[in-house]
Amino acid sequence: MTAEDHPAEGAAAAAARRRTFAIISHPDAGKSTLTESLALNARAIEEAGHIHGKAGRSATVSDWMGMEKDRGISISSASMQLEHRGTVLNLLDTPGHADFSEDTYRVLAAVDAAVMLIDAAKGLEPQTMKLFNVCRHRGIPIITVINKWDRPGLEALELIDEIREETGLDPTPVTWPVGIAGDFHGYLERRTGDLTLIRATPGGRRSAEEEHFSAGEATPEALGLPELADAREESELLGASGADHDQETFLAGISTPVFFAAAVRHLGVPRLLDALVELAPSPEPGPDAEGEPRSLDAPFSAFTFKIQSGMDAAHRDRLAFVRVCSGVFRRGMTVTSARTGRPFSMKYTHLAFGRTREVVDVAYPGDVVGIVNASALRIGDTLYEAQPVEYPPLPRFAPEYFAVARPADMGRMKQFRRGVEQLEAEGVIQVLRSEVRGTHVPVLAAVGPMQFEVVDHRLREEFRSSAKLEPLEHSLARATDESSAQELAGLAGVEVLERSDGQLLALFRDRWHLLGIERTRTHLRLDPLVAA
């Protein structure tokens, strides 16, 4: 069953069969590996090619940029649609590195649930907690997966305690591992007591083998598995403390169901697919910019949360990723951009699966559609048919790194300008300009320094124009207005520039520099920006 199988189906009914979610984690927790394992076990791919960027091995299907393969991290987000048990799973993979938290935030604005991936040996790490707090702020329910259980790590009960203490959520394990970290035999279903034994296939390129036993059959003596007795004892201890899954508290953001897995060998991943179908929420009416919910059966509407080019060198085009919020999308339909009021044709639309694409004719609330060569669209734009609507804007994060950008080869100035404009439209970097420097000399503003590396890489590879970046001494930005800008520009160490959306930003060396100015010039407007 896919989005195209029921062209006459109503939007709300089709939305009930959809789950749209993202995976959040600290770098190197196995996020891209889990993404690929989900695709393998949903039979979307026939063989896994995990372990990103290592010599002689292929990268995961969701990591497509050269830098991702070289470094073994995700620095762009990817979208793919899977199918499991008659349910459509829209998986949005997110950047794992903290320097790309703004892109991750935009992706999280387009999902209904999140899978929080934890390394069994490291527990909850800083970037995981950062993304968890974004999910909590947005009211996104979280399914927790403790990954890498096939390697030595912390004790299961210790990890459960850490989740409770660090997140404030009530962890409610749905499965419980048989065997300590590094000796993963299988898992118990805590509700029924049933046992699943798991065994990886050679090389880990195909789904793991599973053997299922009822609670009555699953005894340590019958199976010759003494670890099973310890697992049952620990599971009963959790039950006595009330750590059993409750769907209402999960959806309310009070508890988090927990699962154990080893994604690199596909152990426990089929159970996670089942959990996404059974537990993750389907799309619901979302609030518009005025706070009014828009019915799923209302005429078509969607918002743009990502723009990406360079996904396939053979096409050299640009994809705008939109999340369908209401109604039914049909390829070729004409919609209106809420920002410009102009009509927009949805003629060329794809489902993007890593670097591969498939033309999509019909999509429903919760689905993510890639619109080809949508140069008129910007991140945050609302599209609608018939009934006007506009969804809340996506915030821009406060940059902390700034650099003047010039082409390394002045003869490639035209390509350099085109590349900077493209990367700015995609949200890869913020671009600031001023009359003092000249509008042809942009200042690039980033949340993290790796964004500059991405800019240089893509300018060089896609636009054949390397950049010379001259770091500035500033590390702090505040929003200001025209009446304050003139006075601020005259102060030592302060620079005022204009962002592409028209917002004036005042740059300061550090917070002490800012505090000194705020104490003596209280009349100036200096508004904090959204922190990453």
Distance, in Å, from the CA atom of 79 to the CA atom of 56, rounded to the nearest integer, reads 26
Query: Among 511, 408, 487, 458, which Cα is nearest to 76's?
Result: 458
CA distance 296 to 326: 4
Residue with tokens 């459960």: 160
CA separation for the pair 435, 204 (Å, rounded) = 57
Burial tier of 367 (Cβ tally within 10 Å: 0-12, 13-18, 19+): buried
Question: What values do phi and psi take at 406, rounded to 5?
Answer: -135, 155
Instruction: For residue 109, give the 3-state DSSP assignment.
Output: coil
> Binding site annotation covers 334?
no
The vertex-65 CA angle with 310 and 50, nearest 5°, equals 140
Strands of the sheet containing 334-337, edge to edge, are: 343-345, 334-337, 382-384, 301-309, 318-326, 368-372, 349-353, 356-359
Report the C-alpha gap between 107 and 95 in whole angstroms. 9
Gap between the Cα atoms of 209 and 353, Å rounded: 26
414-449 as b/e: b if 16+ CB within 10 A: ebbeebbebbbbbbbbbbbbbeeeeeeebbbbbbbe
Residues 6+ apart with CB under 8 A from 495: 434, 436, 472, 474, 489, 506, 507
Backbone φ/ψ region at 427: left (φ over 0), alpha (ψ -120 to 50), beta: left
- 250, 135 contact by CB (below 8 A): no
- Adjacent-strand bridge partners of 456: none
Contacts of 389 (CB under 8 A, 6+ apart): 288, 294, 298, 301, 326, 338, 382
Other CB atoms closer than 10 Å to residue 371's CB: what's the count? 23
Does residue 97 have a known ligand-binding role? yes
Annotated ligand binding at 219? The verdict is no
Between CA 474 and CA 488 the distance in angstroms is 14
Residues contributing to the annotated binding site for GTP? 93-97
Residues contributing to the annotated binding site? 93-97
